[in-house]
Chain A
Amino acid sequence: MRVLTRGILQENPIFYLVLGICSALAVTTKLENALAMGFAVTFVIVISSALVSLIRKHIPAIIRLASYMIVITSLTTIIVIYFEAFDPAMYRTLGIYLPLVAINCIILGRAEAYASRNTIIPSVLDSLGYAIGYTWVISLVSLIRQLLGTGSITIFDIQILTISYFQPLDFMIRPPGALFTLGVLSGLIAFLRQRRAQSSRRRR
C-alpha cells in the first residue's frame, strides 16, 4: 500500500521531482485532453514497469537503459497507433506530445529506479501510483485552466459546470497560462509544506 501511495502524494512526479512537466503543461488546455494523456502515460508506465521487472535478470547492466528505452518506445508506438485508429480527433489535439510520452522522464525513471530492482507486483503498484500522481496533477491544472479560460467545464460533450458571471481569461488557455498555473500551484504546495514543517518543529 505504501508503495502505491508514495507516487500519488509525497513523491508526486510533477510537484516534487519536477519530472515530465513538458507534456503536463502543453496538453492541459482541456480536462478531457488531460485525461487522455493520463491514460496514455498510465498504460505505458504500468506495462513497461511490469515488463522491465520481468526481464530484469536477463539484461546485462551495461545496456539496460537502451533496452528499457526500447520497451517504453514500443509501448508508446502502440498507444499512438491506438489513438490514431480509435480517436483521431484526440490524436490530432495531442499532436507531438503523444510520441513524446516515449521520453517522459517519469517512465524511464520508474523503470530504472524501481522496476529494475523489484518483483512484478510491487513494480506495477509503484508505477500505478506515479501514474495516478501524474494524472491528478495534470487534471487539476487543466481544470483550473479550462474553468478560468473558457468559463465552463465540458467533458466528452457533457457540461458539468459553468460560470456565467465572469469574463473568461483568454490568457489561461494559452501557453503562458500553463506556466503561470503550475508556478502558482507549486508555490502553494511549497507554502503548505513549509508551514507543516514549521508547526512540527514548534511541537517538538
Chain B
Amino acid sequence: MTTLISVLNVILNGFFFYNFILVQFLGLCSFLVISKDIRSSAGFAMAITFVNTLSAATTWLAYYYILVPLKIEYLYILVFILLIATFTQLIEMIIKRYSPSLQRSLGIFLPLIVVHCGILGSAVMILGFTYSFVEGVVFGVSAGLGVGMVILIMAGIRERLALVKVPKPLENVPITFIIASLLSIVFLNYVRVITF
C-alpha cells in the first residue's frame, strides 16, 4: 500500500507539481515552436515521453552502477549529456532502419529532443529526489506525458487563436507566454487541491 502511494505521488509529481513546462520552465524553446499545430504536437508528445522514459532509466543505471562505484559523481552532467545524445541518435537510426512510418511521425522530432532541457532536467531531478529505479522510470514517463499534455492543450488554444484578432505587438511569442501564464496558474493550484 505504501509503495502504491509513493508511486502515485511520483506520478503526480511528474505530471502536475513539477510540470516541466508550466512550473519548471524546461524546454520552452521547443514548446514555443512545436505548439503551432496539433498534429506535430502529438508526434512530439509521443517522442518526448519515449525518450524521457529511456533517459530516466539509463541515467539512473549509469549514475548508481558506474559513477558511484568509481567515485566520479561530479562528472554526472558530462556523462548524462553524452548518454542522452548517443542513445537518441541510436533510436533515430533504429527507427529509420525498421519503421519508415514511425520515422515520419516520431523520428523527425528526435533531434529536437536532444537539446530539450527537460530530459537532462528530469535526470538531475531524479537524483535530487533520490528515487529508486522504478520510481525514477515512473517519474520519467509521467513527466514526459505532462509535457505532451501541456503542448497539446497549447496547440489547441493556438489553433483557435488564429481566428482571433490579437494586438499586433503581442502576436506569436508574447501572446503564447501570456496564455502559458494563465495555464500555469491552473497547474499551480493542483498542488493545493490534491494533498496527501
Contacts and interface: CB of A to CB of B under 8 A. Distances in A.
Bound pair (A, B) = yes
Contact of B174 (A22, A175, A187): A187
B193 interface: no
Interface string A44-70: 000000000000000000000010011
Contacts of A186: 173-174, 177
A70 B177 contact: no
Q: Determine the interface band of chain B, counting residues with CB < 8 A from chain A.
A: 35 or more
A191 B174 CA distance: 11
A76 interface: yes
A70 B79 CA distance: 10
B117 interface: yes
A176 B181 contact: yes
B32 interface: yes
Contact of A102 (B77, B173, B176): B77
B61 interface: no
Main secondary structure on A side of the interface with B: helix
Main secondary structure on B side of the interface with A: helix
B124 interface: yes
A175 B178 contact: no
Contact of A21 (B29, B167, B178, B181): B29
Interface string B152-184: 000000000000000111110111111011101
A169 to B, nearest CB: 12
Nearest to A77: B77
B91 interface: no
B77 A99 contact: yes
B175 A183 contact: yes
Interface string B133-144: 000000000000
B81 A175 contact: no
B24, B124, B174, B184 — most chain A CB neighbours (10 Å)? B174
Contacts of A77: 74-75, 77-78
B124 A96 contact: yes
Contacts of A69: 81-82, 85
Contacts of A21: 25, 28-29
A121 interface: no
Interface of B: 22-29, 32, 74-78, 81-82, 85, 115, 117, 120-121, 124-125, 128, 167-171, 173-178, 180-182, 184-185, 188
30 contacts: A18-B32, A21-B28, A22-B26, A22-B28, A23-B117, A26-B24, A69-B85, A73-B81, A77-B75, A77-B78, A80-B77, A95-B128, A96-B121, A100-B124, A103-B117, A108-B115, A175-B22, A176-B185, A178-B25, A179-B22, A180-B177, A183-B177, A183-B178, A184-B178, A187-B167, A187-B170, A187-B178, A190-B171, A191-B169, A194-B169
